[in-house]
Amino acid sequence: MKTKISIRSFSIFFLLFSNLLVNTALCEEAKINIDLDAKVTGFLESHREQWADWNIPEADGRVLYDLIIKNNYKNAVDIGTSTGHSAIWMAWALSKTGGRLITIEINEGRYKKALTNFKEAGLSEYIDARLADAHELVKNLEGPFDFIFSDADKEWYKNYFIALAPKLDVGGCFTAHNVSADYVRGIAEFLEYVQSLSNFDTTINRSSHAGISISCKRAEK
């Protein structure tokens, strides 16, 4: 009888103790998320008027953020880092989905400034920033990816798409900035190409005047 009671008491104690451990871990994780949110929002707030290196507007940052969260994307690529505005919105979303971002910039000065910004925003651990020519690098990147944002040289958009589409998961999206400017060399050709593909659905988000095309892969072929 005595042994029975003590086994029961031990089981109850063990259950309570393990619950306590799980709850403490969950609280710790929630606290880390709240701390990161505060750091990123503080960073974005204090830099709001300072994005002057062809960076995307805030409205477009929110579009990228929402797409990643809504679809639980985890493996993202940002072509054309500049000083890091788009990468910050994407990496912030990826910090919540358990994902990671590769971002590529060819200009050393902007790349270095982006690194400083990533650190200040508290997002460095979610970002693999590469100083490279994306024309070469995208061919060698190992996929699979589920989210791509193209915002470098517009006349190369179609080539970026052709290089990366086979590495994109079904359900993943290839997005491209400034597609409203279809008078810019490369944009019309890129749009015509993606819209002609039967295994991709392409829509255009016009939250800002720039326009973001969103081409989602529905099937491999």
Ligand X SMILES: C[S@@+](CC[C@H](N)C(=O)[O-])C[C@H]1O[C@@H](n2cnc3c(N)ncnc32)[C@H](O)[C@@H]1O
According to the binding rule CB under 6 A, does residue 85 interact with ligand X? yes
Choose among 148, 179, 170: nearest CA to 218: 170
x/- letters, 124..153, toward ligand X (CB under 6 A) = ---------xxx---------------xxx
> Toward ligand X, which CB reaches closer, 19 or 50?
50
**Hunting for tokens 């910050």 — which residue is that?**
88
CB 195 to ligand X: min, Å: 23
Size of the site for ligand X (CB under 6 A): 20
According to the binding rule CB under 6 A, does residue 102 interact with ligand X? no
According to the binding rule CB under 6 A, does residue 40 interact with ligand X? no
According to the binding rule CB under 6 A, does residue 59 interact with ligand X? no
- Distance between CA atoms of 195 and 44, rounded to whole angstroms? 34
Segment contacting ligand X by CB under 6 A, of 33-41, 104-112, 166-174, 187-195: 104-112
According to the binding rule CB under 6 A, does residue 115 interact with ligand X? no
> Toward ligand X, which CB reaches closer, 146 or 151?
151
Helices 157-164, 187-196: axis angle to 10 degrees equals 30
| CB proximity list for 202: less than 8 A, separation 6 or greater | 191, 194, 195, 213, 214, 215, 216
Phi, psi of 128 (to 5 degrees): -105, 95
> Toward ligand X, which CB reaches closer, 64 or 168?
64
Phi, psi of 200 (to 5 degrees): -125, 140
CB 56 to ligand X: min, Å: 4
Q: Which amino acid is at 95?
A: S
According to the binding rule CB under 6 A, does residue 211 interact with ligand X? no
Instruction: State which of positions 8-37 bind ligand X (CB under 6 A).
Output: none
The three-state secondary structure class of 101 is strand
Note every long-range contact of 188-192, with CB atoms under 8 Å and residues 24 or more positions apart, other chains counting.
189/158, 190/154, 190/157, 190/158, 190/161
Per CB under 6 A, the list member of 63, 80, 175, 214 interacting with ligand X is 80
Interface ranges with ligand X (CB under 6 A): 54-56, 80, 82-86, 104-107, 110, 133-135, 151-153
